[in-house]
A and B are shown apart, each in its own frame.
Chain A
Amino acid sequence: MTEQENFSPEESLQLIQTMIAKTRKDLGNNSTHFLLWGWVTFVACTGQFILKHLMNYEKHYLVWLLVFPASLASIYLGITENKKKVVSSYVGDSMKHLWLGMGISYFVLSIILSQLGWNTNIFPFFILLYGLGTFVSGMFLQFKPMVLGGSVAWILAIMAGNFNYDYQMLFGAVAILISYIIPAYILRSKNKIATK
């Protein structure tokens, strides 16, 4: 782009729109974190169902220890991304704060679950939180598949309330697939096309 001062109001408006669209492509692209946490929680939910319901393994909850290496990977990813970051956005910051709050909420809910006992039918509350996080993220990013995924998670939370803990985990796995994993893959492919 060169320095040019003789351009029409239409060209000005076109330029403003083009530049704003260019920044939008770079905002809130954290599909890697969604995929990491999506797959970790999906594997943990289905794994716990298999261990508890199908194999009658007593320490079925140990599958959730996967969360610790995932946290380390997520922190490492975050630090690496921060080093490469050339733009800081309000959307990106809001997403970071939202998911930090969500992470703390999951942790608090896990402690409550361990206090109440592993057979307490508390899993719909986790699904409720999955819905909240993805719905708000989808709104921030103006990304419909995530908004839809979050809404479906809320419906699944209501449905899961009719089942026992074992089957609630399967509802959880489906909610994660629909609200995290599928939208994250769509987001990733959209970003790839946009940056071509």
Chain B
Amino acid sequence: MFKELDPILHSQLRLAIISLLISVKEAEFTFLREKTKATAGNLSVQINKLKEAGYLDVVKKFHNNYPQTICKISPKGIEAFDKYVTALKTYMHPGQQS
């Protein structure tokens, strides 16, 4: 039985953002842009979608007079990522169910 994949996470850029944030404490927008090689506009839109879903905490502040956007995965985001990976496994190994 295939589990349904979370539509919020089953999008290339949003999944990339969550995958990057899962292994760090927090990261700046510039870090995410460098690693995903996405355009600033597109990245910003996808971060907002993840934020609206409650998967990310986003803090905007000023550092050395420059605006800074810091993103951090939320506990809800960690849970969603965990569920997404579990669902993925059912596609990879259809015989195994968790």
Interface size on A, residues (CB 8 A): 28
Determine the chain B residues whose CB is within 8 A of the CB of A9 once the complex forms. 5, 88, 91-92
Chain A 9-23 per-residue mask, 1 if CB under 8 angstroms from chain B, else 0 = 110110110111011
Interface-centre pick from B35, B37, B84 (highest chain A CB count, 10 A): B35
- Across the interface, name the chain A residue whose C-beta is closest to B22: A20
Any A CB within 8 A of the CB of B40: no
Residues A89 and B24 in contact in the complex (CB < 8 Å), given A3-B42, A83-B64 = yes
- The reply to whether A89 and B13 contact each other, CB–CB distance below 8 Å, is no
Determine the chain B residues whose CB is within 8 A of the CB of A15 once the complex forms. 12, 15-16, 19
- The reply to whether A16 and B15 contact each other, CB–CB distance below 8 Å, is yes
Task: Say what secondary structure dominates the interface of chain B.
Answer: helix
Chain B 8-43 per-residue mask, 1 if CB under 8 angstroms from chain A, else 0 = 001111011001101111111011001111100010
- The reply to whether B23 and A20 contact each other, CB–CB distance below 8 Å, is yes
Task: Say what secondary structure dominates the interface of chain A.
Answer: helix
Determine the chain B residues whose CB is within 8 A of the CB of A105 once the complex forms. none
Interface size on B, residues (CB 8 A): 32
Residues A89 and B91 in contact in the complex (CB < 8 Å), given A5-B11, A5-B12 = no
- The reply to whether A1 and B37 contact each other, CB–CB distance below 8 Å, is yes
B46 → A minimal CB distance (Å) = 7
Instruction: Say which residue of A7, A19, A27, A92 sits within 8 Å of B19 (CB atoms).
Output: A19
Any A CB within 8 A of the CB of B85: yes
- The reply to whether B92 and A19 contact each other, CB–CB distance below 8 Å, is no
- The reply to whether B10 and A22 contact each other, CB–CB distance below 8 Å, is no
- Across the interface, name the chain A residue whose C-beta is closest to B19: A19
- The reply to whether A87 and B11 contact each other, CB–CB distance below 8 Å, is no
Residues A22 and B35 in contact in the complex (CB < 8 Å), given A4-B11, A87-B24, A90-B25 = yes
- The reply to whether A2 and B42 contact each other, CB–CB distance below 8 Å, is yes
Determine the chain B residues whose CB is within 8 A of the CB of A27 once the complex forms. 23-24
A7 to B11, CA, bound (A): 8
Determine the chain A residues whose CB is within 8 A of the CB of B10 once the complex forms. 5, 7, 12
A7 to B37, CA, bound (A): 18
Determine the chain B residues whose CB is within 8 A of the CB of A88 once the complex forms. 24-27
A4 to B22, CA, bound (A): 21
**Can you show 19 pairs from A to B with CB atoms below 8 A apart?**
A1-B38, A2-B12, A4-B12, A5-B7, A5-B11, A7-B12, A15-B12, A15-B16, A19-B35, A20-B22, A22-B20, A23-B24, A27-B23, A83-B64, A86-B34, A87-B28, A88-B25, A88-B26, A89-B24
Binding site for A on B (CB under 8 A): 5, 7, 10-13, 15-16, 19-20, 22-28, 30-31, 34-38, 42, 46, 64, 84-85, 88, 91-92
- State the 3 A-B residue pairs at the shortest beta-carbon distance, nearest first: A19-B19, A9-B91, A86-B31
